Amino acid sequence: MASPFLRNLRLRHMYHSLNSRLHASGFHSLSDKSLQNSPLNLFSLDGFSENQYKFRAFWMNHRFLCTGSTNPSVNKASSSNVGATPSGGLAEGNHGNKNNGEQDAGGSQSTSQQGKPVRRGPVSWMSFFLLLCTGAGLVYYYDKEKRRHIEGITNASNAVRQGPSVGKAAIGGPFNLIDHNAKSVSDKDFLGKWNLIYFGFTHCPDICPDELQKMASAIDKIKEKSGIEVVPVFISVDPERDTVEQVREYVKEFHPKLIGLTGTPDEIKNAARAYRVYYMKTEEEGSDYLVDHSIVMYLMDPDMQFVKFFGKNLDDTSLAEGVIQEIKQHKKVKA
């Protein structure tokens, strides 16, 4: 058995070893002076076994650790160490988070440098292209429908609608006049042929020449397109100046088949009344005057019955097409 001195020395060695470990982990321990004044020295070491000495050393350290030291400097140091530990831990945590953030940024940067997108956006090139195509298609469809609607309105407004017949217009009738060859003619001389009749006068400055030129061109186009022969007829509303010779020279300027008719004032008046034609002298100064009259062409069928009239707003092509259409429609109804 070891002597009491060796046991005491071993116990002190164990105490100092335990005290150094506690001090390294941030806790205060007993000083040598405190150990001398501790209850360990109040008892003799001879009557205790080695296990009893170990137990007493552990109990003394546990007591002083729980109650704290009586030295103010020790308590202040302990308090400062305890308060500093979380800050240090927080700083270390922040430093660790910073390092982790740098690592994440570095990883993202390296990923971007390798050409692999970390996260795709909500709009891709394909979706943008499909959206563009859809928009262009909608614009094209809207424009097409708009043009089709406008064309439908235009065609409906320009179309000639054939309504139910209520009766024949009271246009046309018998007349007796003289042609440009000084031959007496009547309405019966024009039976069996399609006739296009225009009322005017040879001293007309602009409207009558334009209308007769349009009539002559339309007659040729009707013959060319449909093979139908239409007789152009000019009836003067100025019997005082439009003599047979005057009318003859006048009609030669427009078409070789154009027939010019004139007569006495009463004969002209009767013919104009039959065709509902208005005419009146204006701006009379001696022998120079103008005649205001209706600007209308009358299409008469082979029975010298009125079919349709055409106004000044048509050109030669439209006039020719209108005459052809009316002739075909008339033949279809007669059949």
Mean pLDDT confidence for 200-215? 93
pTM value is 0.51
150 or 106, higher pLDDT: 150
286 or 283, higher pLDDT: 283
Q: What is the pLDDT of residues 158-167, one digit of tens each?
A: 554 444 445 5
Q: Quick check: is 292 in a domain?
A: yes
Q: Quick check: is 119 in a domain?
A: no
Q: What is the pLDDT of residues 70-115, one digit of tens each?
A: 444 444 444 444 344 434 443 344 444 444 444 444 444 444 445 5
Binding-site annotation: residue ranges = 204, 208, 293
16 or 31, higher pLDDT: 16
pLDDT at 299: 95
80 or 240, higher pLDDT: 240
- Residue 289's pLDDT band, with cuts at 50, 70 and 90, is confident
CATH for 273: 3.40.30.10
Q: What is the pLDDT of residues 116-147, one digit of tens each?
A: 555 566 668 888 888 889 989 889 988 888 88
pLDDT at 40: 44
313 or 19, higher pLDDT: 313
Q: Quick check: is 243 in a domain?
A: yes
Q: Quick check: is 307 in a domain?
A: yes
Region class of 95: left (phi > 0), else alpha (psi between -120 and 50), else beta: alpha
Looking at the predicted structure, is the pLDDT value of residue 65 above 80? no
Q: Quick check: is 260 in a domain?
A: yes
Strands 259-262 and 230-236, by their bridges, are parallel
Cβ-Cβ contacts under 8 Å for 297 (sequence gap 6 or more):
196, 197, 198, 211, 215, 309, 310, 319
Structural domain boundaries, residue 311:
176-334
Q: What is the pLDDT of residues 252-276, one digit of tens each?
A: 999 999 999 999 999 999 999 999 9
Q: Quick check: is 276 in a domain?
A: yes
pLDDT at 320: 94
223 or 49, higher pLDDT: 223
Distance between CA 218 and CA 192 in Å, rounded?
20
Binding-site annotation: residue ranges for Cu cation = 204, 208, 293
Contact between 194 and 295 under an 8 Å Cβ cutoff? The reply is: no
pLDDT at 46: 44
Distance between CA 190 and CA 305 in Å, rounded?
11
Q: Quick check: is 310 in a domain?
A: yes
pLDDT at 273: 93
pLDDT at 130: 87
pLDDT at 282: 84
The overall average pLDDT reported for the chain is: 74
Torsion angle (degrees, nearest 10) of CA 249, 253, 256, 257: -80
Q: For residue 55, what are its two tokens?
A: 């137990």
Cβ-Cβ contacts under 8 Å for 63 (sequence gap 6 or more):
none
> Structurally, how many domains does the chain consist of?
1
Q: Which of 63-67, 95-99, 208-212 has the highest mean pLDDT?
A: 208-212
Looking at the predicted structure, is the pLDDT value of residue 205 above 80? yes
Q: Quick check: is 283 in a domain?
A: yes
Q: DSSP characters for 14-82?
A: HHHHHHHHHHHTT-----HHHHHTSGGGTS-STTS-HHHHHHHHHHHHHHHHHH--S-HHHHHHHHHHH
